[in-house]
Structure 1
Amino acid sequence: MSSRPPLRPLDDALADLLARARPLQGADDVATVDADGRVLAEDLVSALQVPPQDNSSMDGYAVRSAEIADEGVVLPVSQRIAAGQAGAPLQPGTAARIFTGAPVPEGADAIVMQEDAEASGDQAVRILRVPDRGQWIRRSGEDVQRGAVVLQRGQRLDPAACGLAASIGRDRLRVAARPKVAMFSTGDELVLPGTVPPEQMPPGAIYNSNRFFLRQLLVRCGCEVSDLGIVPDRRDATEAALRSAAAAHDLILTSGGVSVGEEDHIKPAVQALGSLDLWQIAMKPGKPFAYGTVGGAHFIGLPGNPVSSFVTFLLLVRPFLLQLQGASRLQWAALQLPAHFDWKRPDRRREFLRVRRNAQGGLDLFANQSSGVLTSAVWADGLLDNPANQPIAHGDPVRFLPLAELLA
């Protein structure tokens, strides 16, 4: 009988990873304009109302609604108020010409948009539609109240959140420190693009695609990345790379070399220098996934096959990195959509199939689901999360994870 431990279920493995990902100490002070993708390290409390005063949401005329009982009323125009100006109190029996964003003058309680008015030069205006009290007025504080928490600690900032921070006057924000990540690939068959032309590639050689998408995924997760390139398939070289990376990084991320072949040196090297606490996940693609520690650094080893590496990063590494930054939202809920295909031979492991939404609101399946076919990840706009041993018939509801959210 085999002495190998059973494969870890994905959910158990993720829970174990997150329990080990204690948020990093320290924080950075960054310009709000540069804070996209960072995680807030403190609650953001507004010191003012937004908008600060009642203002007009239309170009038109500020009026007292009680003075306009019927259509066709003509009022003299007593003043003109542009955005950024403060008007005088509105004189009874008059209208004020007003523009979008301008403060509503004291005494006015409605805005008549200019399409519902007929100007007589600059001196008078005929009201063509009876206004309702309060129409086209944006009230002070209707967006943000003074003293309100507008963004919470742990929120990952996006462009809208950065704009909201700016709207309450914050030009700098305190955000979680970036994880420092060292990455390298292993495999003597790997060649960096640009070093050997395609027509001169030796037999058995392949270009290192993992390096490129993993680096970009790390950057999208807010990391500072040290790219250590390709490490030769030798135990001593692997240990040297791990030892050097552990000295100045929070996480070491490798690609390849975590399987059980004679040329796979990552596992024994990590065990020699630290500990290997998690190895092999009951998922497809992505079984040869590893977690451990080397010195004071976390270690994560991804499979060498590109789709396996891509999928395990999204489902395991990404939430781990967000947890290191104290993010409050680590995962997104799956959508329920109908499968527009049959999947008659499911795997014993939980599967993540590359699929794409179609015009009918269902999911199409990429024809080749091999873990080495990176075109499937480019073609797809999501992953279908299929339980182990679960066949799929056309029309069955399935769990869909949009890549747009996983790649954000």
Structure 2
Amino acid sequence: MKIYGVIGWKNAGKTGLMERLVAEICARGFTVSTVKHAHHAFDLDRPGKDSHRHRQAGAREVLLASHERWALLHELADAPEPPMGEMLDKLAPVDLVLVEGYKRDAHAKIEVFREPAGHELIQPDDPTVRAVASDVALADLPVPVFDLNDTAAIADFILAETGLVAETPGDLPDACFLPQSAPGMASVAEAQAMLRGSLGPVTAVERIALAEAQGRLLADDAIASRANPPGTNSAMDGYGFAHASLAGGNVLLLDEGRSAAGAPHRSAVAPGHAVKVLTGALLPEGVDSVAMQEEVVIADGRITLPDGLSPGANTRAAGEDVAEGALALAAGCVLGPAELGLLAALGLAEVRVRKQLRVGVLSTGDELAAPGTTRDPARTYDANRPMLLSLAARWGHRAVDLGHVPDDRDALRRALNAARGAVDVVLTSGGASAGDEDHVSALLGQEGHLTQWRVALKPGKPLVLAQWQRMPIFGLPGNPVSAFVTALLFARPALSLLAGGRWPEPRGFTVPAAFAKRKRTGRRELLRARLDGEGRAVLFRSDSSGMISSLAWAEGLVEVSEDAQQIEPGDPVRFIPFGSFGL
């Protein structure tokens, strides 16, 4: 979490500025918490309230809880006041913590100054004060001075200081999804090409500590500021020497001392001499090759080297992994353990990443009920919403549950309006066709920007691509298997582009079929499958798109192209494991 302080003398206007900054920075899409320090006793409840009576009776801690908030009151008694760092550890993670008070702590601060308060400026004697917000003109200060009422400029300064500058490329255009180029059904490839050509990043950029960057998307190309390894070093324990010395024979004089990792040998090694070197140690001046310690003979201050050593033997050249100034990682890559290790090896303590894409998931339909709430056979438990929320989270996005709305356009309109600003993109399920109760496509067609596609795909033919006040919406089919498959093929790569990442291509491989299937020309089919003990693809017992159990049973999908085919047992088929879709 980033920390920034607001300080000033009493009645300078600190709390007013804090209030305005919280509203301003939250409106820019960042999460903010606050810490308020007081030099006097305070109470959160009036005398006579139950919690106050509990404390007065001697309770060490009193926890207040309601459906809106909770608070824990802890009595210090004779214990010393905890330091600010201990207080910060009690907060849930947010983008920024604004601290009011704590003048003596070392974090960066902005001073609030009002002339009527009658106090001298703190800044001249405090190097942690990085700017002043004042209601009067101030001259000859070595830090920026802001108008106390210019909240936006002060927020800009604090966000820049903390590396939380929002760098959003801008909203998508009103109609980012292109219409179908021809009537009829689009192929899977055509629909994917349209998405790939239409979408771009909608997420802001922030600078965070490398240790916090697991799973995030790299915002900029990472360029090596120094080589890795930074200097030529030994690849193993042994003895270093100049290869040219071997022209006079394999017996060299052995110098005292050694070169170890982090403790290099400071003296140059003369021709005809050798010195002990350990794995990872920088090669001393005069050394360009290393002999393994198991292959040498040492006696009477001399070392006999083995025959056949080549120049540079058993060494690692400076920059042989990554050269200084080289591209280490390209923007848009996901930072996993290997990527974080590479950036750390190059000396990067912080990294600019994309803020997580906020993916809202909304279920629609009168027939849906929350799991476990009814046994009415006319109602269907809402399986799509937890499934799609889990998919969004597995793909590295911030999954936001938007709940369930019935088949009612006013309710759907209210839900979409509420989502705007809370999320970056919405996945809906149900209501994506053109029937009387398909309110998603109907509302988006009348009041949004709608491209309704019929994709030549089984399962998953109906697919709504739309915008609501420039917020992208993916209307997925209501049947669980269809929703799952269309999410893998279309939502996953599109969400990656919106998040600032790359278009991910699933990787399959060829296996023998353990089934027979006759297929007509027209639609691409994705069959739920798993591999048997002989590595053959076995299909689920039914191809119904309503059988969600097939997704738990399957290990991946067999992809059958649009062409007419007659598949017999033993024929090669393409199998795409679920792991290739980021699961």
The match for 2:447 among 273, 276, 283 is 273
- Give the whole-Å Cα distance in 2 for the aligned partners of 1:90 and 1:368: 75
The corresponding residue for 2:25 is none
Q: Residue in 1 aligned with 2:292?
A: 113
**Is residue 54 of structure 1 aligned with residue 229 of structure 2?**
no
1:249 CA drift (Å): 3.0
Q: What is the rounded CA distance, in whole Å, between the counterparts of 1:70 and 1:214 in structure 2?
A: 73
State whether residues 252 and 274 of structure 2, in contact with CA within 8 Å, keep that contact through their aligned partners in structure 1. no
Q: Compute the displacement of 1:73 (Å).
A: 5.0
Partner of 1:407: 582
User: Tell me, what secondary structure is at the counterpart of 1:289?
Assistant: strand
Gaps of 5+ in 2: 1-182
2:392 paired with 1:202: no
What is the percentage of aligned positions where both structures have the same residue? 39
Instruction: State the match for 2:360 in structure 1.
Output: 182
Partner of 2:488: 314
Q: Residues of 1 paired with 2:502 and 2:416: CA distance?
A: 31
* Alpha-carbon distance in 2 for matches of 1:33, 1:206: 43
Q: Is the 8 A contact 1:78 1:95 kept in 2?
A: no
Q: Calculate the TM-score normalised by the size of structure 1.
A: 0.86
Equivalents in 2 of 1:109, 1:338: separation in Å? Answer: 53
Matched, 1:380 2:554: yes
Which of 212, 228, 231 does residue 386 from structure 2 map onto?
A: 212
Uncovered stretches (5+) of structure 1, i.e. residues with no partner = none
Alignment of 1:7-406 (within 5 A): 7-24=185-202, 26-67=204-245, 73=251, 76-87=254-265, 88-117=267-296, 127=305, 130-193=308-371, 195-196=372-373, 201-332=375-506, 334-346=508-520, 348-358=522-532, 360-388=534-562, 389-406=564-581
Partner-residue secondary structure (3-state), 1:86: coil
Q: Distance in 2 between matches of 1:156 and 1:181?
A: 17
Shift of the alpha carbon at 1:48? Answer: 0.9
Tell me how far apart the structure 2 counterparts of residues 243 and 346 of structure 1 sit (CA, whole Å): 43
Shift of 1:75: 5.2
- In structure 2, relative to structure 1, the CA distance for the partners of 1:251 and 1:366 (3 Å cut) is same
From the superposition, tell whether residues 344 and 302 of structure 1 become closer, same or farther in structure 2 (CA, over 3 Å). same
Rounded to whole Å, the distance in 1 between the matches of 2:488 and 2:280 is 43
Amino acid at match of 2:468: V
Stretch of structure 1 that moved more, 52-61 or 39-48: 39-48
Shift of 1:302: 0.9
Contact 1:340 1:364 in 2 (8 A): yes
What whole-Å deviation, never above 9, does each CA across 1:217-244 have from its counterpart, x for those lacking one? Answer: 2123343332112222333222221222
Contact 1:73–1:128, Cα closer than 8 Å, also in 2: no
Please, what is the CA RMSD of the aligned residues? 3.0
Q: Is the 8 A contact 2:434 2:442 kept in 1?
A: no
CA displacement at 1:33 relative to structure 2: 2.7
Distance 2:381 2:238 in 1: 63
Q: Tell whether the 8 Å contact from 1:38 to 1:175 is kept in structure 2 after alignment.
A: yes
Q: Deviations over 1:46-76 (max 9, x none)?
A: 1211101111111222233455589995753
- Supply the distance in 2 between the matched residues of 1:208 and 1:386 (Cα, whole angstroms): 30
Report which stretch shifted further, 110-119 or 64-73: 64-73
Question: What is the alpha-carbon distance in structure 2 between the residues aligned to residue 72 and residue 168 of structure 1?
Answer: 38
Displacement of 1:315 = 0.6
Letter in 1 for 2:268: P
Per-residue Cα deviation, 1:356-388 (whole angstroms, up to 9, x for no partner): 345545433333332223333334333222123
Letter in 2 for 1:15: A
Matching residue's letter, 1:19: G
**Using the alignment, how far apart are the partners of 1:119 and 1:381 within structure 2?**
60
Query: What is the CA distance between 1:319 and its match in structure 2?
Result: 1.2
Q: Is the 2:203–2:500 Cα contact (8 Å) retained in structure 1?
A: no
Instruction: Describe the SS at the equivalent of 2:566.
Output: coil
Contact 1:337–1:398, Cα closer than 8 Å, also in 2:
yes
Residue 297 of structure 1: how far off its partner (Å)? 0.8
> Cα distance, 1:406 vs. partner?
1.3
- Alignment partners' CA distance in 2, 1:247 and 1:328: 24
Counterparts in 2 of 1:68 and 1:373: CA distance versus 1, 3 Å: farther
Work out whether residues 323 and 330 of structure 1, in 8 Å CA contact, stay in contact via their aligned partners in 2. Answer: no
Higher mean Cα deviation, 292-301 or 220-229?
A: 220-229
- Tell me the distance in 2 between the aligned counterparts of 1:76 and 1:105: 14
Confirm or deny: 8 A CA contact 1:231 1:237 kept in the other structure: yes
1:86-125 CA distances to partner (integer Å, 9 max, x unpaired)? 213224444322221111122222222233245679x766
Residue 140 of structure 1: SS of its match in structure 2?
Answer: coil
Instruction: Letter of the 1:403 partner, please give it.
Output: F
Counterparts of 1:311 and 1:35 in 2: how far apart (Å)? 30
Aligned residues of 1:63 and 1:108 also touching (Cα < 8 A)? yes
Instruction: Kindly indicate whether the alpha-carbon contact (under 8 Å) linking 1:246 and 1:252 is maintained by their aligned counterparts in 2.
Output: no
Q: Point out the more displaced range, 292-301 or 65-74.
A: 65-74
For residues 169 and 163 of structure 1, the distance between their equivalents in structure 2, rounded to whole angstroms, comes to 10
**Structure 1 residues 371-380 or 76-85, which shifts more?**
371-380
**Greater Cα offset, 19-28 or 291-300:** 19-28
TM, length-normalised to structure 2: 0.62
**Amino acid paired to 1:378:** A
Closer, same or farther in 2 for the Cα pair 1:188/1:118, shift >3 Å? farther
Larger relative contact order, structure 1 or 2 (CA cutoff 8 Å, min sep 6): 1
Report the secondary structure of 2:573's partner residue. Answer: strand
- Partner Cα separation in structure 2 for residue 76 and residue 155 of structure 1: 49
Report the Cα offset of residue 137 of structure 1.
Answer: 0.3
Q: Is the 8 A contact 2:196 2:503 kept in 1?
A: no
Q: Cα distance 1:107–1:233, how it changes in 2: closer, same or farther (>3 A)?
A: same
Distance verdict in 2 for CA 1:205–1:119, change over 3 Å:
farther
Q: Give the secondary structure class of the aligned counterpart of 1:226.
A: strand
